[in-house]
Amino acid sequence: MKAHISITTDRLVLRTPEEEDFDAVAAFMSSDRARFVGGPREDRFDMWRGFLGQFGHWGLRGYGMFTITQAGRVIGRTGLLNHVMWEEPELTCHIFDAKLESQGLGTEAMRAARLWAWEAHGLNRLASFIHPDNGAAQGVALKLGAQPERETTLLGKPVHLWRHPEARP
């Protein structure tokens, strides 16, 4: 049985994922909005395996992606990824609906997840691997005080490693 973790911010609740989140995740992964995070995908079973990986991440690493909810509705996910091919843990965020962009929700969610990573696991000065064409993610990283550190590749694709500041200044 996995532990249930919940973080409340001014407008959001971040919580460990639940099976009921799958349809929202699958809708996101099948959309063009997922183009920088392995999508879009059409195979529902492939999406299900990826979704199950979230639970495995929590079980193996003790951290993973939180489901972001607003007023009880699933609107995205944020948290830490550290797959075997990652060079270090990554702080990331996916807001599922384009209509919710430019409201600061991703920034708010990532700030809370970053502080939790420090307090719960001592992870500090986290990285975010951002595709050079993902201007929205770059904007959020800047709002969080992250700076581009270097170019690298992830899963064979070019990315920039953005370095976050101290979680607690």
Single-letter amino acid code for the residue at 50: G
Of 64, 71, 36, the C-alpha closest to 141 is 36
Options 3.40.630.30, 3.40.50.2300, 3.40.50.1000, 3.40.50.150; which CATH number does 6-122 get?
Answer: 3.40.630.30
**How do the pLDDT tens digits run along the chain, 169 residues long?**
367 999 999 999 999 999 999 999 999 988 878 777 777 889 999 999 989 999 999 999 999 999 999 999 999 999 999 999 889 999 999 999 889 988 999 999 999 999 999 999 999 999 999 999 999 999 999 999 999 999 999 988 899 999 999 977 6
Q: Which residues pair with 70 in a beta bridge?
A: 73
Q: Please give the DSSP secondary-structure letter assigned to residue 38.
A: T
Residue that is written with structure tokens 């993610």 in the block: 137
Of 70, 53, 69, 71, the C-alpha closest to 61 is 53
pTM (predicted TM-score): 0.93
The domain limits of the chain are: 6-122
